[in-house]
Amino acid sequence: MRILLIGTGGVGSAFAAIAARRHFFETIVVADYDGARAEKAAKTDERYVAAQVDASSAEAVTSLCREHGITHVMNAVDPVFNMSIFEGAFAAGADYLDMAMSLSKPHPQSPYEKTGVKLGDEQFAQAPEWESAGRLALVGMGVEPGLSDVFARYAADHLFSEIDELGTRDGANLVVTDDEGNEIFAPSFSMWTTIEECLNPPVVWQDGKWFTTAPFSEPEVFDFPEGIGPVECVNVEHEEVLLMPRWVDCRRATFKYGLGDEFINILKVLHALGLDGTEKVRVKAASGGHCEVSPRDVVAAVLPDPATVGPRMTGKTCAGLWVTGKGKDGADRSTYLYHVVDNEWSMREYGHQCVVWQTAVNPVVALELIARGTWSGAGVLGPEALDAVPFLDLLTDYGSPWGIKELDAGSGVPLGSSGR
């Protein structure tokens, strides 16, 4: 296996650090638009080679694949570049993985009721070509989407006879401080992507169809395990809702994120001021004259790089799937399958903060399963299309076990939590 890793930000660099401890691949070409950043990440392992690439150019991706005999392309950049990398990998005859699908476009007349272009629609439209070519595009293979989708497959195969809801629930108790120890606003993941998913109309699957709601709708308090505790979660647009119902039979699928009041208010202000926009605007340049910049790029640039906040971060992050329905015995069942990473552990063991580490470990596990021949397929597939057990076993072998928490099936909400 010869892997092209595109993107050496927080997640890409963590991917390189995790893969360096494994032996399932021959080489990894570590590529970034910033050649110096690629060089830094490539120093992690002697099997790594650094390269510069323009991720917005499918032709550049194809050329780099052919130059290095790439068999698998790992996309670790913001999803705005998904289609160029996706198409570049296909043209080169390589398999493809990403951690977020192609972007959505809200319905032009009824954005908070009807779906427009959904997450992943552009990629799924090309599924027949991938299948005919015998090539695999494994989409949404991060943590959420990714591990959460693996949990859905596991729940359907081993825990439930009938599923009412597949509810992805993400929460944390992370705190980032400045040099004086004061808590500061510093997102632990790509701000560009966070703005995209949090301000777009959230999608819900129910009774055989997708529909949308307003951002931050349907708040509920979910009690997260391992000391994180109760966190208010709200509807956010996310790939699981578009992936899980394609392969797992369920009445309802949702994604809710524990953002917190401060983060939600900041996102609302950014939207009100137009600072979430991606279209370039003309502004005065410091050197005189004018230049064109994207407001969202500016917001992302002035905030701390998520890859650098680890030493000033404390707490844990939890990704998981709350499943309700009938157990294998026919009785009501409510189960939370989850994965928790402590920032102190990930920094000590890998030198990377917990959120990017938790995201990056899952595509490494997936690639190892593909290299072994344990996972295989053709077309555009989500993680829930493949057997969950080998994945969960190997994730534990990586030193990061997952857990199961049984909830109160009678109340319909997590123990110690209140839905509303």
- The whole-angstrom separation of Cα 349 and Cα 367 is 21
pLDDT above 70 covers a percentage of the chain that reads 95
Q: Do 128 and 238 share a domain, yes or no?
A: no
Residues 227 and 208 in one domain: yes
**Rounded-to-integer distance, Cα 279 and Cα 292, Å:** 9
Number of other residues whose CB lies within 10 A of the CB of residue 53:
23
Of 138, 172, 204, the residue at which a domain comes to its end is: 138
Does a structural domain hold residue 228? yes
Domain presence at residue 323: yes
* Structural domain contains residue 364: no
250 plus 109 within the same structural domain: no
pLDDT of residue 189: 64
* 47, 105: one domain: yes
Inside any domain, residue 384: no
Residue 385 domain-assigned (yes or no): no
Residue 262 has which token pair? 């401060």
pLDDT of residue 186: 66
Is residue 376 in a domain?
no
Whether the predicted pLDDT of 201 surpasses 60: yes
Same domain, 133 and 192: no
Tokens representing 377? Answer: 């397929």
Token look-up 């199961």 returns 404
Shared domain check, 43 and 13: yes
How many C-beta atoms surround the C-beta of residue 67 within 10 A?
Answer: 12
CA distances, 66 to each of 2, 70, 90, 162 (Å): 11, 6, 11, 46
Which positions ≥6 away from 59 have C-beta within 8 Å?
88
Summarised one tens digit per residue, pLDDT across range 242-267 is: 999 999 999 999 999 997 777 778 88
pLDDT of amino acid 312: 79
pLDDT score of 183 more than 80: no
Verify that 47 and 176 share a domain, yes or no: no
Same domain, 130 and 230: no
Structure tokens at 223: 């009690």
Range of the domain at 320: 147-354+400-419
245 and 120 fall within a common domain: no
**Count of domains in the chain?**
2
Answer whether residue 87 shows pLDDT above 80: yes
Q: Are residues 157 and 108 in the same domain?
A: no
Encode pLDDT of 296-351 as tens digits: 888 888 877 776 777 778 999 999 999 999 999 999 999 999 999 999 999 999 99
User: Would 377 be classed as within a structural domain?
Assistant: no
366 in any annotated domain: no
Same domain, 75 and 166: no
pLDDT digit string, tens, across residues 127-149: 999 999 999 999 999 999 999 99
Q: Answer with the residue of higher pLDDT: 23 or 274.
A: 23
Side chain identity at residue 345, one-letter code: W
Query: CA 398 from chain center: how many Å?
Result: 19
Q: Which two tokens stand for residue 294?
A: 């994207």
The CATH number of residue 126's host domain is 3.40.50.720
Where among 105, 138, 171 does a domain terminate?
A: 138
* Lowest mean pLDDT across 97-106, 171-180, 217-226, 380-389: 171-180
CATH number of the structural domain spanning residue 160: 3.30.360.10
Pairing of strands 220-224, 27-32: unpaired
Q: How confident is the model at residue 224 (pLDDT cuts 50, 70, 90)?
A: very high
Phi and psi, residue 61, nearest 5°: -65, -45
Is pLDDT of 419 > 70? Answer: no
Q: How many CB atoms lie within 10 A of CB 419?
A: 13
pLDDT of residue 203: 97
Q: Is the pLDDT of residue 411 over 70?
A: no
Domain stops at, among 112, 138, 164: 138
Provide the 10 A C-beta neighbour count for residue 59: 12
Identify residue 339 by its one-letter amino acid code. H
**Whether residues 41 and 172 fall in one domain:** no
Top-confidence residue, 342 or 183 = 342
pLDDT > 60? residue 414: no
Q: How confident is the model at residue 413 (pLDDT cuts 50, 70, 90)?
A: very low
| Mean pLDDT along residues 173-197 | 78
